[in-house]
Structure 1
Amino acid sequence: MPGRSRTPRLEARGSLWITADGESLGGHGRMALLRAVAEQGSITQAARAFGISYKAAWDAIDAMNRVAGEDLVERSAGGRGGGSTRLTEHGRRLLDRHAQIDAVHQRFVRLLTDEAFDLSRPFSVLDVLKLKTTARNQFTGTVTAMRSGAVNDEVELTLPGGTRLVAIVTRESVDALGLRIQQPAMALIQAANVVLATDIGQAKLSTRNQLRGTVRSVRPGAVNAEVTLEIDSGVRIVAIVTETSVAELALAPGVRAVALVKAPDVVLAVASQESGRESAA
C-alpha cells in the first residue's frame, strides 16, 4: 500500500432525534419544518420554503401532533386573510427545547472529536466533559487506594505518569460519589491552595501532597503572580503566589520547586453513570 502523506483526522458525528414513548417524533428535519411554519404562518408557505409538497408537510405535522400526544400546530380559520397556521404553546416550547438540547449535543460531539480520538491515550469521559469550574488545576486519574477514618476517608488518585494525589473527603461524599478502587475520577485544586517552596531538602512536612518539579512560567501581576510548575511526571500545576514570594524564592523558569497541597484542599469529581454529568465533593 502506498505511503500516506498524512494521518486522517478521526471525528465523531451524530444527530439529535426525539421520541415519545419509543415512537419517533422528529429530528432536525421535522423541527426545521415546525420553525418554517412558525415563520411563515402557513403550511403551504412553509412547505414551499422547505422544498417539499404540501401533502408531505401536512403528513409530517399530523404525525408529530399524534405522537406528541398534544397538538404542536393549530389552524385558525376565517377572516379576510383566509386564516393561518401557527405553533401551539406546546409546539413553541418543544421547538425551543430542541434547539437548546441540540446546541449541547453538538458541543458534546465536538468535545468527543477534540478529546477522544488521541488513540495513544486512554479514553476518559472526564477528559471529554471537562468541568467548568473556578479551579485552575483539573487532573484526571484513577482511584488506587482508599482508607476509612472515623469521620473522613482518605482517597488516593493516581494520575497518568504515576503522580499520586491524596484527598480527604467525608464518608458521605465517598458514598454519594460511589468512589471505588480503579474508578476514573478528577481532582480539582484551586491555584490559591497551591503553596510553592524551594530548597526544602529532606525537610519533613505535614502536607500530604508534595509535588516536585520545575518552574515553566511566571506571569507577573499587580499583586500576585501565576506560576506554572511542571511536575517530574509531566503533569503541570498552577499556583497563585504573591510577587514578594516570587522574589524571595527567586522563582523563574528552570528553577526547581515543590508544590504543596493539603489533602482537604483536593476536591474529587466523578462522572454520573445515570446522566453523564459530573458530581463533585
Structure 2
Amino acid sequence: MSEIFNSIISGVGITDVIDVAIVAFVIYKVLGFIRETRALQLVRGLLVLVLITILSEQFNFYTLNWILRNTLQLGVIALVIVFQPELRRALEYVGRSKFITPQFAQMDKERVKVLTAAIIKAVDYFSTNKIGALIIMERETTLNDIAETGTKVNAEISTELLGNLFYEGAPLHDGAVIVRGDRVLAAGCVLPLTQSKTLSKDLGTRHRAGIGITENSDAISIIVSEETGIISIAVDGKLSRFLDIKTVEKTLLNIYLTQIPAEKVKVPFIDKIRRRRNAE
C-alpha cells in the first residue's frame, strides 16, 4: 500500500499541484456565486435530472434514459438562456480590474465631500417634501447603454440641478439620473427591473428599477419614495430601507473615500424602533 502511495506522490509535479489548486479555486468561486443568486434552485433541479439519468441507465430504463439524455443535450442551450442575467453578472465581475481607477478616486477628498454634500442636501429635500427620486452612482462598470435611454446632461453635480431634474412635472423627473464622477451624465433614464420574487409588494417600479441596475452592475442606487419620503439604498442587488440622511452620507463617503467593492458595501444597521417610527 505504501509503495502505491509513494508511486502516486512521485508522479505528482509542481504543475499538477498548481493545476488542481486553480481548478479548485474556480469551482469554489462558482459555487459561491451560485449560492448568492436564484441559480441555486435551478442547479439543484439540474443535479436531480442528472441523478435520474444515471439511475435510469443502471436499471435499464431505456425509454426514460433516452428522453433524459436528449433533454440534457438541449439543456446546455436552455441553461445559457435561463442563466443569462447571472452569466452576464459573473462576466462583468471577472472583467472588473482592480487596476481600473473609479472616477471618484481621481478627485481629492475635499472635492468628494463637497459633491457628497450636494447629493445629500438634495436627497434630504426630496425626502422631506416626498419627491420621488432615483440617483444611480456609476462605479467601475460603465452605464453608457443605460444613459442612452435617457437625455444626456453632462453637467456638474449640484443640489439645484438634481432638484430641477426631479421636480414634479419636469420632463425627466420619472426616470433615473446617472452620476459619473463629479457630473450628472444623463437623466430620465430607463433601468432594468429586478426579477426578484421576494420583494415586498409595497415596493413600486422606482425601487425595483433601483435594485435591478445593481444586479447588473456595481452601481449604487439612492432611492426616495414619492409616497412616503423613505430613503433607501440598493447595493449588489440588496435593498436597505428606512435610512436617515446621516446614514446615507456615511455610506457614500465610505464608498468613495475608501473604494470599497460594491459586493462588500454594508449599509449601517437601522434598529427596529426607527423603522417602525418611519413606517408610521
**TM-score w.r.t. structure 1 length?**
0.28
- Larger relative contact order (Cα-Cα within 8 Å, sequence gap ≥ 6): 2
Rg larger in structure: 1
More helix by share: 2
More strand by share: 1
